[in-house]
Amino acid sequence: VHDNSANLSPCSTQSTDSSMSTSPTVPTTPDPPSPSPTATPDLPSPSPVAAPPEELLGRGQRRKTQSVTLRNYVTNNAQTQLLNKSGAKTLYPIANYVSSGRFSVPHRAYLAAIVDNVEPKSFKVAYENKRWRYVMRHEVDALEENETWILEDLPPGKRAIGSKWVYKIKYNSDGTIERYKARLVALGNKQIEGEDYGETFAPVAKMGTIRLFLKVAAGNQWPVYQMDVHNAFLHGDLDEEVYMKPPPGFYPDDEKKVCRLRKSIYGLKQAPRCWFQKLSTSLRDYGFQQTHADYSLFTFDKNGVHIRMLIYVDDMILTGNNESALQAFKDYLSSCFKMKDLGTLKFFLGIEVSRNKSGLSQPEKVRFRHHL
């Protein structure tokens, strides 16, 4: 018999001894086995987190990447070293990602002209350009020549409304620039009804009347001429007592002086009505009659001479059966107002008109562009 006691655990030894003994024994709770040590993997010790340099605190460290929308551009990508350009006011200028190196010279000139001919939105921006400074000076000279205002002290209990500049680039029908225009307008939204103005309604030509006017001229083979009034609203006589602050950029020697308006100015609520009343009076004095169907249409019929005139604010078109009578009427208008004769009708209210032997027509390409 082999001795296997050396291979038995303590529990197994106790069980064997109890089975061989004949006397009863009190069971005792064996001591729990001591846990065997478990092998733990070696973990790296935590490394200390380095604090960012003091000069980088509070600054974003987002990585600059090319925008997804720039993939739609057909030009070649710009140099990558431009991405790290510092000191630029724009965070992500498009010039850093897209280059115009493949553009032709005429196309570059076209793009430069588009960027250069932008209508300024504020006086501060416009004053930096000598072109806009010139037209603003010209506008103020025209207002003073027309005696639009006189400088006075603001009476007690009265208030002066403000004014601002509005800039516009006028284009010809072929898209070329006709002229740069700066308009001084009063802040009519500050006017008080009953104190600064009364009636404000002024008629304008209806589109149906314009079509009928051109149809009659084409059917009778009458020439159609176009005229424009320079500073039309400045010709209207102002009945109300209105005070305005001096124009931005042009201040009198005495800072306490304000402009008392003697004639209407752009921006006043009653300005269109004052101008139309002034023009209607001049036309009636010449012998014209105002139609009841459209108050903007005037007719002249005397001694076999027939003249028709249509008014849309400061734009006028006229036609008739007598060339000399039309020229005499143009001279009369020029004596009453500062007029500009635009010759035969070519462009009116955004519509280009062409004339041939069959009559008047609107080119299809212009009509399509106008609707767009």
Domain ranges for the chain: 71-116, 123-371
Mean pLDDT of the chain: 76
Name the residue with tokens 């600064």: 196
More confident of the two residues 59 and 238:
238
Work out the burial of residue 227: count CB atoms within 10 Å of its CB; fewer than 13 is exposed, 13-18 middle, 19 or more buried.
buried
Buried (b) or exposed (e) across 248-278, using 16+ Cβ within 10 A? beeeeeeeebbbbbebbbbbbbbbbbbbbbb
Q: In 10 A of CB 69, how many CB atoms?
A: 8
Contact 307, 212 (CB under 8 A): no
Report the alpha-carbon distance of residue 161 to residue 155 in Å, rounded.
Answer: 14
Alpha helices in the chain (DSSP H): 10-20, 105-116, 123-127, 130-145, 207-219, 271-286, 323-336, 364-371
185: three-class secondary structure by DSSP: strand
User: Residues 104-117: what's their mean pLDDT?
Assistant: 75
The confidence band for 334, taking pLDDT boundaries of 50, 70 and 90, is very high
pLDDT one-digit tens code per residue, 137-181: 998 988 888 888 999 999 988 889 999 999 998 887 667 788 889
More confident of the two residues 290 and 202:
290
The confidence band for 77, taking pLDDT boundaries of 50, 70 and 90, is very low
